[in-house]
Amino acid sequence: MLGACRRTRSLGPCARRKSNARKGLGYLSDKLLENEGQEKVMTDKTRQGASQPQEISAQELETMLKAEQPPLVIDVREPFELARGFIPGSVHIPMGAIAFRLDELPHDRTVVIYCHLGERSWSVARFLAQRGFREVKSLHGGIEAWQARV
């Protein structure tokens, strides 16, 4: 029963969904195909030029936010984690949505990523650096470090 729906064992809606995804129909599959194409365009030379993300402290971020050109600060935590607090002026884009919202991020401005403790933010910062974002930083210690900075 190749292509059959697991639940109904018929060539019903599940099979149609798979067929549509293969054809590139729908927002999600279009974005995945688009991202797949972008990844193929990136050559080894471009990858070598992509920098590794730099980790910054909460104090460094505080100083950067007071500058004339403050960085774009992105919170990559899940929505249920936002109750723990946030950095004023930050933009919330969950980690799983970053790949689909790359076109919203500026290439000409420093981007600082943060999460709860800093592990997810470093992964996202690395992901962005590999895709050509030059000034990407990860907040070491995440929101916990930010709240404890005083």
| 115 is annotated as an active-site residue | yes
Mean pLDDT of 64-89: 96
Confidence of residue 51 (pLDDT cuts 50, 70, 90): low
- Is the pLDDT at 11 greater than 90? The verdict is no
- Is the pLDDT at 103 greater than 70? The verdict is yes
Confidence of residue 53 (pLDDT cuts 50, 70, 90): confident
- Is the pLDDT at 131 greater than 80? The verdict is yes
Out of 61, 73, 98, 115, pick the active-site residue: 115
- Domain range annotation of the chain: 1-41, 47-148
Considering the domain 47-148, what is its CATH architecture? 3-Layer(aba) Sandwich (3.40)
Q: In terms of residues, how long is the chain?
A: 150
Q: What is the pLDDT of residues 106-125, one digit of tens each?
A: 999 999 999 999 999 999 99
Mean pLDDT of the chain, nearest integer: 76
| Between residues 82 and 33, the one the model is more confident about | 82
How many angstroms separate the CA atoms of 42 and 39, rounded? Answer: 5
Q: What is the pLDDT of residues 15-48, one digit of tens each?
A: 443 333 333 333 333 433 344 444 433 434 344 4
Buried b (16+ CB within 10 A) or exposed e, 46-77: eeeebeebeebebeebeebeeeeeebbbbbbb
